[in-house]
Amino acid sequence: MSFDSLAEIKVQVETPDYDSGNLQSILSEIKFALEQLLQQNKTHCIDLRAMPWSPGEETRLEEYLGRGEISVELNALGKSSFYETRFSGIWIVTHYNQQDEIIGKLIEITYMPDMIYAQYEDVKNSLERLQQP
Amino acid sequence: MNKKTLFELLQQQGITRRGFLKYCTALTSLMALPPAMIPTVAKALESARRPSVIWLSFQECTGCTESLTRSHSPTVEGLIFDYISLDYHHTLQAASGAAAEHAREQAMKDNYGKYLVVVDGSIPLADPGYSTIAGISNLDMLNETVAGAAAVIAVGTCSAYGGLPHAAPNPTGAVSVSSLIKDKPVINVPGCPPIPTVITGVLAHYLTFGSIPELDELGRPKVFYGQSIHDRCYRRPFYDKGLFAETFDDEGAKKGWCLYRLGCKGPMTYNACATLKWNQQTSWPVESGHGCLGCSEPNFWDAGSFYQALSIPDGDYARAAGYAAAAGVAVGAAAGFVHQKTKSTAVAQHSEISVDDFSLNKD
Amino acid sequence: MELFSNANDFLLWVRGDAFNIALSIFVIGVIIRVLEIVLLGRKKEYSEPRGSEWGPGLKNIVSRSVADSGTFKRAPFVIVVGYIWHICFFIVLLLFVPHIELIHAMLGIKWPGLASQFIDASTVVAIAAMLGMLWHRLTHPVLKFLSTYEDYLVWLVTFLPLLTGYIAFHRMIAPYPLALGLHILSVELLMIVFPFTKLMHAITLFIARWYTGATMGRKGIES
């Protein structure tokens, strides 16, 4: 048997209930960012891969934030998934590479993640293509 | 070959602005910069050019290269073939012998003053014959190659501090890159091996900003080596509560308590394992239940047992104390003897006098 | 640092050779001082004993820990702060887990430690107590007159381990190996100075109190 990536190896990870304090601190960061978004229209972004997670902690955060009304899939240099959590204004963004490995994971506190908007350069490119005979 | 900017290269491949931004996001995360830096990274990358990289392997075990080729974000293939120009790496390249050496010389000539030199492995000074490539001694090849380099990246503890070959009694006279190269910036990326994403992160920093990241006093990039394992460890709360595993299979170990007593060197080790983790962020040594060995620190191999708590002295203190006790008893007994002698002499010289001796009218 | 190429080399030396040197001086010094006292002996007592020696001797070791009211009235500050200092110091010394590990490795005995916030608080109190004591010594005219350089030296070598320990624990000096190395070095300094100064009271107090108690006991006097 051979595997191309770690994700193919089915391992059941048991996750004891560690409390490293990461969850509380990240939740208070999110709360503060939401206030800022409402009051000053300031967006915020947290790199989830820069957190010293204990086993299972990241999953617990995702379970707590849950899934909301909208999710978007992007296909550029591999897949990317954007979804709003059950708390409106809090988005979870996951970027994958062409091998389906996670290359970036973020929490965005914003009305809409910037990358979902059509990009100026791309729109310009579209017009150029349409203008070609 | 190096004329096109990275952005132009991506555009040529039909990658959209969204794709480019996604790449920038991944790269920002890889460089351990905050997400707020993504626009800055994007701006820098629009005009970034592929740097030429020459990789030299000296007294090493190839573990660092193994680690790098398992780096995944962005894939090392992508990084090597698209975004840097890896012109010489004698383990990875197909060519060998004169053709390989020619590739190195050509890259040096074409990019004089601008290329990066990555070194893994230490350099033997005791006898150049301990390690040679194409008949050239490691020291000569290093000096010759570094002469036209913009900067040197010492990958792995061997090239950063001498590493295992440097361990006592250091038979090959192994030394680090930074002890030989004084006139070029040397970036140390220690670890045995270093975290693959740290290697690529440092390359990415140079690729993006065309400069070297901020370094600590041991020449390590602060973004990756700025905090100790202990400070970022998810088991830290157990240390503070005084809850420790005493053996590798007791209740404490099963509950994931602190590994300090089992010899964890986390408090003195500066590295990014606790956040970046290993094997595509699956786990890292402490998470898998073993204390940190301190592999990104100088002389970690000679710093006493991996399984002894950091607070325990690592000399032969029992022997020292034994000799000291013997010496103490000998000197103490001699001193006691001298004092007793003094005392008995004083007693012997003691003479009795009567009231008459104090008579005021002696005559 | 010129002697050491980096902080890790410094820590290695402090944990290795320097510790062996300090430990040797400490052991030699303490044994010489104790043997000097014990071997000198006491004059043979020919009188009929009116009581036992051992019981009162041992009792005196404990009972003398409580200051009599006269002494207390004369120097309440020294006694209260002295007590606070000694208690906090022993909490830090004996109940901090890295210290317990050291004792376990050297003597083979161990006991449970305290959570680090208690150690931290005790360290702060101990440091404050020592600063208070120094201030008292410098402002009290009689105490100041009686103080010699040895008193200040003893204060310093006792204060440094507390201060450097606090700094190392809170990682106030970077890199950590330097902070830890300075802490261990300060303890080594204490170990070297210990046998030849008033710090020996930590050992001689038992001998002195036992002798007093035993002499009194033999004479049948309550001590």
**Residue A15 pLDDT > 60, yes or no?**
no
| Residues B191, B151 within the same domain | yes
Handedness of CA B159, B160, B161, B164 (dihedral sign): negative
Q: What is the mean pLDDT of residues A24-40?
A: 93
What pLDDT, on a 0 to 100 scale, did the predictor assign at position A18? 62
Q: Residue C32 is nearest to which of B321, B323, B332, comparing CB atoms? A: B332
Residue B329 to residues B232, C155, C198, C206, Cα–Cα distance (Å): 49, 29, 21, 20
| Residues B195, B294 within the same domain | no
For B5: left if phi > 0, alpha if psi spans -120 to 50, otherwise beta; the answer is beta
Tell me, yes or no, whether B130 lies in a domain.
yes
Q: How would you class A127 by CB atoms within 10 Å of its CB: exposed for 0-12, middle for 13-18, buried for 19 or more?
A: exposed
Range of the domain at A25: 20-131
Handedness of CA C214, C216, C219, C222 (dihedral sign): negative
| Residues B166, B245 within the same domain | no
A111-114 long-range contacts, Cβ below 8 Å, gap at least 24?
A111/A37, A111/A43, A113/A82, A114/B21
Distance in Å, alpha carbon of A76 to nearest chain B alpha carbon: 5
Q: What is the mean pLDDT of residues C138-164?
A: 95
Q: Do C20 and B315 touch (CB under 8 A)?
A: yes
Report angle CA C133, C135, C136 to the nearest 5 degrees. Answer: 60
Q: Do B22 and A122 touch (CB under 8 A)?
A: no
Whether residue A34 lies within 8 A of chain B, CB to CB, comes out as no
Please tell me the distance from the alpha carbon of residue C183 to that of residue C18, in angstroms, as a whole number: 13
List the structure tokens of A6: 């770690």
Residue C156: CA count within 13 A, CB half-sphere: 8
List, for residues A87-108, the tens digit of each pLDDT value.
999 999 999 888 788 888 999 9
Tell me, yes or no, whether A105 lies in a domain.
yes
Q: Return the axis-axis angle of helices C76-95 and C116-139, rounded to nearest 10°.
A: 150
| Residues B216, B252 within the same domain | no
| Residues B173, B239 within the same domain | no
**In percent, how much of chain C has pLDDT > 70?**
98
- Return the number of other C-beta atoms located less than 10 Å from residue A24's C-beta: 10
Using the structure block, give the residue that is written with the tokens 């400069």.
Answer: B211
What pLDDT, on a 0 to 100 scale, did the predictor assign at position B361? 62
What pLDDT, on a 0 to 100 scale, did the predictor assign at position B208? 86
How many structural domains is chain A composed of?
A: 1
Q: Do B17 and A80 touch (CB under 8 A)?
A: no
Using the structure block, give the residue that is written with the tokens 């579209």.
Answer: A126
- CB < 8 Å to C40, chain B: 336, 339-340, 343
Q: Which amino acid, B138?
A: N
Q: Which residue of C has its CA nearest to B225?
A: C175
**Residue A41 pLDDT > 60, yes or no?**
yes
Whether residue B75 lies within 8 A of chain A, CB to CB, comes out as yes
Tell me, yes or no, whether B127 lies in a domain.
yes
- What number is the ipTM of this complex? 0.84
**CATH number of the domain within which B233 lies:** 4.10.480.10
What pLDDT, on a 0 to 100 scale, did the predictor assign at position B1? 42
| Residue B325 main-chain phi, psi, to 5 deg | -65, -45
Q: Residue A99 is nearest to which of B35, B36, B75, comparing CB atoms? A: B75
Whether residue B18 lies within 8 A of chain A, CB to CB, comes out as yes
- Return the number of other C-beta atoms located less than 10 Å from residue A15's C-beta: 12
| Residues B208, B239 within the same domain | no
Whether residue C66 lies within 8 A of chain B, CB to CB, comes out as no
Q: What is the mean pLDDT of residues C39-53?
A: 82
**Residue C97 pLDDT > 70, yes or no?**
yes
Q: Which of A30, A97, A105 to mutate to test the interface with B (most CBs of B within 10 A)?
A: A97
Please tell me the distance from the alpha carbon of residue B67 to that of residue B281, in angstroms, as a whole number: 14
Whether residue A73 lies within 8 A of chain B, CB to CB, comes out as no
- Asked whether B161 and B194 are in contact (CB, 8 A), the reply is no
What pLDDT, on a 0 to 100 scale, did the predictor assign at position A43? 94
- Residues near A100 by Cβ (< 8 Å), separated by ≥ 6? A5, A7, A78, A79
How far is C-alpha B357 from the chain's CA centre?
Answer: 84
Whether residue A1 lies within 8 A of chain B, CB to CB, comes out as no
Q: Do B75 and A97 touch (CB under 8 A)?
A: yes
Q: Do B299 and C8 touch (CB under 8 A)?
A: yes
What pLDDT, on a 0 to 100 scale, did the predictor assign at position B143? 95
Report angle CA C43, C48, C54 to the nearest 5 degrees. Answer: 70
Q: Which helix (H) or strand (E) holds A75?
A: strand A71-75
Residue spans per domain, chain C:
7-62+95-122+147-219
Report angle CA B108, B109, B111 to the nearest 5 degrees. Answer: 65
- Residues near A17 by Cβ (< 8 Å), separated by ≥ 6? A56
Tell me, yes or no, whether A80 lies in a domain.
yes
Q: What is the mean pLDDT of residues C123-136?
A: 96
What pLDDT, on a 0 to 100 scale, did the predictor assign at position C123? 97
Q: Do B216 and C175 touch (CB under 8 A)?
A: yes
What pLDDT, on a 0 to 100 scale, did the predictor assign at position A23? 85
Q: Which amino acid, B61?
A: C
Please tell me the distance from the alpha carbon of residue A56 to that of residue B81, in angstroms, as a whole number: 36
pLDDT tens for the 363 residues of chain B, in order: 456 777 777 777 778 888 888 888 888 888 888 898 888 888 888 887 778 889 999 999 999 988 887 765 555 556 555 667 788 888 888 888 888 888 899 999 999 999 999 999 999 999 989 999 888 999 999 999 999 999 999 999 999 999 999 998 999 999 999 999 999 999 999 999 999 888 888 888 888 888 889 999 899 999 999 999 998 899 988 888 888 999 999 999 988 899 999 999 999 999 999 988 888 778 899 999 999 999 999 989 988 889 989 888 887 888 888 899 999 999 888 888 888 888 888 888 888 877 777 766 655
Distance in Å, alpha carbon of B90 to nearest chain C alpha carbon: 32
What pLDDT, on a 0 to 100 scale, did the predictor assign at position B20? 86
Q: Residue B73 is nearest to which of A51, A97, A106, comparing CB atoms? A: A97
- CB < 8 Å to A43, chain B: none
Closest alpha carbon to B106 in B207, B1, B191: B1
List, for residues C74-88, the tens digit of each pLDDT value.
889 999 999 999 999
- Reading across the β-sheet that carries A102-109, which strands appear in turn? A44-47, A102-109, A90-96, A79-84, A71-75
Residue B330 to residues B316, B336, C30, Cα–Cα distance (Å): 22, 10, 13
| DSSP secondary structure letters along C19-31 | HHHHHHHHHHHHH
Choosing from B162, B190, B224, the residue where a domain stops is B224
List the structure tokens of C92: 């830090």
- Asked whether C32 and B332 are in contact (CB, 8 A), the reply is yes
**Strand ranges (DSSP E) for chain B?**
52-57, 85-89, 115-120, 123-124, 132-133, 136-137, 149-155, 174-175, 186-189
| Residues B54, B201 within the same domain | yes
Distance in Å, alpha carbon of B73 to nearest chain C alpha carbon: 30
| Residues B256, B201 within the same domain | no
| Residue pairs between chains B and C whose CB atoms are closer than 8 Å | 148
Choosing from B164, B192, B224, the residue where a domain stops is B224
**In percent, how much of chain C has pLDDT > 90?**
59
How many structural domains is chain B composed of?
A: 2
Whether residue B230 lies within 8 A of chain A, CB to CB, comes out as no
| Residues B215, B234 within the same domain | no
Q: Residue C36 is nearest to which of B314, B320, B336, comparing CB atoms? A: B336
List the structure tokens of B301: 């191999």
Q: Which of C5, C6, C32 to mutate to test the interface with B (most CBs of B within 10 A)?
A: C32
How close are the terminal C-alpha atoms of chain B, in Å?
A: 124
**CATH number of the domain within which A107 lies:** 3.30.1370.140
- CB < 8 Å to A54, chain B: 234-235, 256, 287
Q: Residue B22 is nearest to which of A54, A95, A101, comparing CB atoms? A: A95
Our CA dihedral for C36, C39, C43, C45, rounded to 10 degrees, sits at 130
- CB < 8 Å to B280, chain A: 5-7, 101-102
What pLDDT, on a 0 to 100 scale, did the predictor assign at position C88? 96
Whether residue C107 lies within 8 A of chain B, CB to CB, comes out as no
Return the DSSP state at A103: E
Whether residue B275 lies within 8 A of chain A, CB to CB, comes out as yes
- Return the number of other C-beta atoms located less than 10 Å from residue B117's C-beta: 26
What is chain C's length?
Answer: 223
Residue C107 to residues B172, B207, B318, Cα–Cα distance (Å): 39, 55, 10
Q: Do C19 and B317 touch (CB under 8 A)?
A: yes
The SS3 of residue B151 is strand
Q: Do A20 and B236 touch (CB under 8 A)?
A: yes
Please tell me the distance from the alpha carbon of residue C123 to that of residue C164, in angstroms, as a whole number: 11
Residue C208 to residues B36, C211, C219, C220, Cα–Cα distance (Å): 69, 5, 17, 18
- Return the number of other C-beta atoms located less than 10 Å from residue B209's C-beta: 15
Please tell me the distance from the alpha carbon of residue B336 to that of residue B339, in angstroms, as a whole number: 5
- With touching defined as 3 or more inter-chain CB pairs under 8 Å, the answer for chains B and A is yes
Whether residue C65 lies within 8 A of chain B, CB to CB, comes out as no
Q: Do B29 and A50 touch (CB under 8 A)?
A: yes
- CB < 8 Å to B34, chain A: 47, 50
What pLDDT, on a 0 to 100 scale, did the predictor assign at position C1? 39
Range of the domain at B271: 229-302
